[in-house]
């Protein structure tokens, strides 16, 4: 038989590159998972998902968060079989005690806490791998094979995806389903034809993706104005009459409703989904304490997410995005309607929200931008521009590896070192409680057996062997679960004060100057780019003032 033509050899090489990039992302994700202690909301998501599966009771966390991501993450627990302490008094008032109940479930179970948590994190990582495949397929359909490989490379080394693909939260599930909803809707919409026949498979896939997005996070409601805008544009430009798309959309909406109903265990949606959406919309309008570059607000700023986008998006990607926006050839109908329009509407919705606490809240914007940027590939002809593009891609990958595995704390070169990130942003942008395991490793190296600790997070320091006296914990544990230890600092080689970056900036304290005195000191170490370590024992005067402020009377 004759040899295969060069096209097939290229195809084999393409499959190898795709598999390689998927494998690299998976390996980076697994390594990251093994370094992280629980972030703030992970224990609650973990316990809630398992309680949904085991009891069918959706009281725990279903109003604050749609359940699909939690259900998905909890599937390995059906095999691991941890205990669910529904006999505990916390369960009776789970709305008030969700965080203590989650702490009980994670740390006082017959299954090791790390095994329990990481098994669920791998399920979220799997969603990221599916997102990579979706990004590749969308880019290939719009711009060809070379562009698709470029988009997949950008996805593979995206620090914002690695940060959220390794956590039991709702953000990655929303990002995947939101992107898939637009992808399958485009396929359904493009196949509408003139025969009046409904492309059933694509209608069902589009509807199922919309339902998954709505069941992943309440912010998916933004999909409806996005889809309406696409339809109205085609009606306004005469591509289609209004009656036909409304008839065809019935199949899409029916599939979405069925998936949403399934995710809520066939409970009436009025009992959970609509009440949860109402609660979230009230929270979005009501605001929350926020820190941005030395300033505080409970209502947010319209420029918060633009600033976050600029600081936490890799600079080479920003440059590629600017170049892609400058090419007239890129502004085709499909690209504008199915890439720029969804990302612009979702980003604008974030800017209008009064709850501005994390880069993750605009995560669904990025898959569309990666596909848009990949469209540069067929536009670039000169060798010089190709070399420049290759250098930008190398810079992009190197920037991610520079901070690996602490992708939560990624900042681009505008802020200098990632250790400076907390001076600009706090909370899940940089410090979400992820550094306890690394802190324990550091203390063992330093032979320090007890510290003063001011922690932002819900992880249990004792699980990692950290003895501590608590100073102003922010952890939602409203029943004394973090009382600490009677540490004798006279026996310590050094007196260390370790404070989470979010607390150092007093983001959630009423007194925004409570730690202002720390700004005159230089931390001797910043662990995981989020925990600041101060040797307060080396300065007797400073140590005396510290004890006057934070030592309760009688101790």
Q: How much is the pLDDT for 182?
A: 97
Are 25 and 128 within 8 A, CB to CB?
yes
Return the structure tokens found at 465.
Answer: 């062997």
201 and 93, same structural domain?
A: no
Q: Is the dihedral of CA 162, 168, 172, 176 positive or negative?
A: positive
Are 526 and 419 within 8 A, CB to CB?
yes
Task: Write down which residue in 271, 286, 301 finishes a domain.
Answer: 286
| Omega cis (within 30) before 79 | no
CA 458 vs. chain centroid, Å, equals 17
Burial class (CB in 10 A: 0-12, 13-18, 19+), 392: middle
- Phi, psi dihedral angles at 321 (to 5 degrees): -65, -45
Rounded Cα gap, residues 344 and 319, in angstroms: 18
Rounded Cα gap, residues 155 and 135, in angstroms: 8
Burial class (CB in 10 A: 0-12, 13-18, 19+), 409: buried
Rounded Cα gap, residues 199 and 514, in angstroms: 61
181 and 98, same structural domain?
A: no
Q: Is residue 428 part of a domain?
A: no
Q: Which helix (H) or strand (E) holds 292?
A: strand 290-292
Q: Is residue 276 part of a domain?
A: yes
Structural domains in the chain (count): 3
Rounded Cα gap, residues 426 and 423, in angstroms: 8
Q: Is residue 214 part of a domain?
A: yes
Rounded Cα gap, residues 255 and 267, in angstroms: 17
pTM of the model: 0.94
89 and 178, same structural domain?
A: no
Are 336 and 324 within 8 A, CB to CB?
no
Rounded Cα gap, residues 358 and 299, in angstroms: 14
Rounded Cα gap, residues 454 and 488, in angstroms: 17
Residue range of the domain that includes 96? 42-111
Return the structure tokens found at 114.
Answer: 């790390």
Q: Is residue 454 part of a domain?
A: yes
Return the structure tokens found at 124.
Answer: 């979220």
Cα distances from 281 to residues 84, 267, 275, 348, in angstroms, run 31, 21, 10, 15
CA angle 201, 203, 207 (to 5 degrees): 120
The total of other beta-carbon atoms located within 10 Å of residue 440's CB is 17
Task: Write down which residue in 87, 111, 135 finishes a domain.
Answer: 111
Strands 496-500 and 531-535: antiparallel
Task: Show pLDDT as tens, one digit a residue, over the chain (555 residues).
Answer: 334 444 555 577 899 999 999 999 999 999 999 999 999 999 999 999 999 999 999 999 888 899 999 999 999 999 999 999 999 999 999 988 999 999 999 999 999 999 999 999 999 999 999 999 999 999 999 999 999 999 999 999 999 999 999 999 999 999 999 999 999 999 988 765 444 455 788 889 999 999 999 999 999 999 999 999 999 998 888 887 766 667 778 889 999 999 999 999 998 887 889 988 998 888 887 788 999 999 999 989 999 999 999 999 999 999 999 999 998 888 999 999 999 999 999 999 999 999 899 999 999 999 999 999 999 998 888 899 899 999 999 999 999 999 999 999 999 999 998 999 999 999 999 999 999 999 999 999 999 999 999 999 999 999 999 999 999 999 988 767 888 999 988 888 889 999 999 999 999 999 999 998 888 889 999 999 999 999 998 888 788 878 877 875 444
Q: Is residue 208 part of a domain?
A: yes
The total of other beta-carbon atoms located within 10 Å of residue 64's CB is 17
Are 50 and 477 within 8 A, CB to CB?
no
Q: How much is the pLDDT for 10?
A: 56
| Token pair 């170490």: residue | 525
Rounded Cα gap, residues 468 and 237, in angstroms: 66
- In what side-by-side order are the strands of the sheet with 451-454? 468-470, 451-454, 496-500, 531-535, 525-527
Return the structure tokens found at 213.
Answer: 């997005």
Task: Kindly report, residue by residue over 72-105, the tens digit of the pLDDT.
Answer: 999 999 999 999 999 999 999 998 899 999 999 9
Q: Is residue 505 part of a domain?
A: yes
DSSP string, 324-382: HHH-GGG--HHHIIIIIHHHHHHHHHHHH-S----GGGGTTHHHHHHHHHHTTGGG--S
103 and 185, same structural domain?
A: no
545 and 447, same structural domain?
A: yes
| Token pair 């190398």: residue | 394
Are 463 and 85 within 8 A, CB to CB?
no
196 and 94, same structural domain?
A: no
Terminal CA-to-CA distance of the chain, rounded, Å?
88
CA angle 185, 187, 189 (to 5 degrees): 65
Task: Write down which residue in 242, 266, 286 finishes a domain.
Answer: 286
528 and 453, same structural domain?
A: yes
Task: Kindly report, residue by residue over 162-186, the tens digit of the pLDDT.
Answer: 999 999 999 999 999 999 999 999 9
Rounded Cα gap, residues 352 and 372, in angstroms: 24
77 and 182, same structural domain?
A: no
Q: Is residue 512 part of a domain?
A: yes
Q: Is residue 195 part of a domain?
A: yes
DSSP string, 343-355: HHHHHHHHHH-S-
Q: Which helix (H) or strand (E) holds 137?
A: helix 113-143
Query: How much of the chain is helix, strand and coil, in % rounded to 5?
Result: 65, 5, 30
């Amino acid at each position: 038989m004759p040899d295969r033509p060069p096209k097939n050899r290229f195809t084999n090489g393409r499959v190898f590159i795709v598999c390689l990039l998927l494998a690299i992302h998976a390996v980076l994700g697994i390594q990251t998972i093994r370094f992280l202690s629980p972030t703030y909301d992970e224990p609650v998501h973990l316990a809630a998902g398992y309680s949904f599966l085991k009891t069918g009771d959706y009281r725990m966390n279903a109003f604050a968060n749609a359940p699909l991501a939690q259900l998905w993450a909890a599937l390995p627990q059906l095999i691991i079989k941890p205990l669910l302490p529904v006999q505990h008094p916390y369960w009776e008032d789970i709305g008030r005690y969700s965080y203590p109940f989650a702490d009980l479930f994670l740390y006082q179970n017959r299954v090791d806490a790390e095994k329990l948590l990481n098994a669920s994190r791998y399920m979220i990582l799997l969603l990221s791998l599916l997102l990579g495949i979706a990004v590749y397929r969308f880019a290939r359909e719009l711009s060809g094979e070379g562009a698709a490989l470029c988009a997949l490379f950008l996805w593979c080394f995206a620090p914002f995806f690695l940060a959220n693909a390794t956590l039991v939260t709702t953000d990655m599930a929303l990002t995947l389903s939101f992107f898939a909803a637009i992808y399958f809707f485009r396929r359904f919409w493009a196949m509408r034809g003139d025969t009046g026949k409904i492309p059933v498979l694509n209608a069902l896939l589009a509807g199922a993706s919309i339902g998954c997005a709505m069941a992943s996070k309440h912010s998916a409601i933004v999909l409806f104005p996005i889809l309406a805008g696409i339809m109205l544009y085609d009606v306004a430009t005469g591509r289609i009459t209004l009656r036909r798309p409304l008839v065809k959309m019935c199949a899409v909406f029916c599939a979405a409703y069925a998936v949403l109903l399934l995710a809520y265990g066939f409970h009436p949606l009025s009992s959970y989904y609509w009440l949860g959406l109402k609660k979230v919309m009230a929270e979005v309008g009501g605001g929350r304490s926020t820190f941005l570059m030395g300033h505080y607000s409970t209502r947010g700023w319209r420029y918060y997410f633009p600033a976050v986008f600029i600081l936490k998006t890799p600079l080479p990607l920003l440059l590629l995005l600017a170049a892609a926006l400058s090419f007239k050839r890129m502004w085709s109908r499909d690209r504008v309607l199915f890439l720029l329009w969804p990302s612009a509407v979702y980003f604008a919705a974030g800017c209008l929200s009064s709850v501005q606490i994390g880069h993750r809240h605009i995560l669904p914007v990025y898959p569309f931008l990666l596909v848009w940027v990949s469209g540069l590939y067929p536009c670039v002809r000169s060798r010089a521009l190709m070399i420049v593009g290759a250098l930008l891609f190398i810079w992009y990958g190197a920037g991610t590896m520079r901070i690996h595995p602490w992708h939560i704390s990624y900042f681009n070169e505008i802020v200098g070192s990632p250790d400076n990130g907390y001076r600009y942003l706090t909370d899940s942008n940089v410090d979400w409680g992820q550094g306890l395991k690394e802190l324990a490793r550091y203390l063992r190296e330093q032979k320090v057996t007890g510290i003063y600790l001011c922690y932002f997070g819900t992880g249990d320091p004792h699980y990692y062997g950290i003895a501590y006296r608590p100073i102003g914990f922010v952890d939602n544990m409203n029943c004394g679960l973090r009382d600490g230890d009677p540490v004798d600092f006279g026996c310590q080689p050094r007196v260390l004060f370790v404070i989470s970056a979010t607390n150092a900036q007093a983001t959630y304290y009423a007194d925004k100057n409570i730690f202002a005195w720390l700004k005159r000191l230089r931390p001797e170490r910043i662990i995981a780019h989020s925990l600041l370590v101060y040797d307060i024992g080396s300065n007797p005067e400073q140590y005396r003032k510290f004890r006057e402020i934070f030592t309760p009377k009688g101790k």
